[in-house]
Amino acid sequence: MTFEPETPNFAERVRESLSRQAFMTYLGATLAKVAPGYCEIRMPYRPELTQQHGFFHAGAMAAVIDSACGYAAFSLMPADASVVTVEYKMNLLAPGRGDTLVARGEVIRNGRTLKICRGEGFGVRNGAETRCVEMLSTIMMLANRQDR
C-alpha cells in the first residue's frame, strides 16, 4: 500500500521521536528506514539482549517491532499529534538467532484515529533473513498533543 504523509518532514519527526526513547537507545536499536506508513529498525546482537539459550529475548524483539509499528503509524500523522500503542499480539515463529534483529512495521489500515499495523522480526545471519516474529497491532493517534 502507498500512503500520503500529512507532513513533509515525517522522516525527521520519526527519527527525532525515536531518539528520545531511552529504552530504544538502551537496546541499541536504530532507525534503518522510514517511508510513509513504513518503518524499519535494526538491533545488533549483544549478550545483554538474550534469553537462557543465547538467542534474542522475545521481549527485546517485541519492543523494537512494536516501535517499528508505532513509527510506521506516526509517519502518517499530522504535526501536532503524538502516538501510543493500544495493543499488540505477536507469535514467535522461530528462535531469534543472528547478528542483527531487523524489525519492520507497516500500516495496513490507515484510520484517522487508529492505525492497524503488521510487524515482523527477522534474525539476520550471514546476510540471510529468517522471520522469527509476526505481530499485529493497533496504534492510536493523540490529536493536539505534540510528541515533544
Residues that bind a copy of itself (CB under 8 A): 17, 20-27, 47-52, 57-60, 62-64, 66-67, 84-94, 108-109, 113-114, 116, 118, 131, 134, 136, 138, 140, 147
Whether 96 contacts 61, CB under 8 Å: yes
To a copy of itself, the closest distance from the beta carbon of 64 in angstroms equals 7
To a copy of itself, the closest distance from the beta carbon of 6 in angstroms equals 19
* CB closer to a copy of itself out of 30 and 85: 85
Nearest to 2, CA basis, from 35, 51, 45, 33: 35
- CB neighbour class for 132 (10 Å; exposed up to 12, middle 13-18, buried from 19): buried
* CB closer to a copy of itself out of 32 and 118: 118
To a copy of itself, the closest distance from the beta carbon of 15 in angstroms equals 13
3-state secondary structure (DSSP) of residue 7? coil
* CB closer to a copy of itself out of 7 and 50: 50
Phi and psi dihedrals of 97, rounded to 5?
A: -110, 135
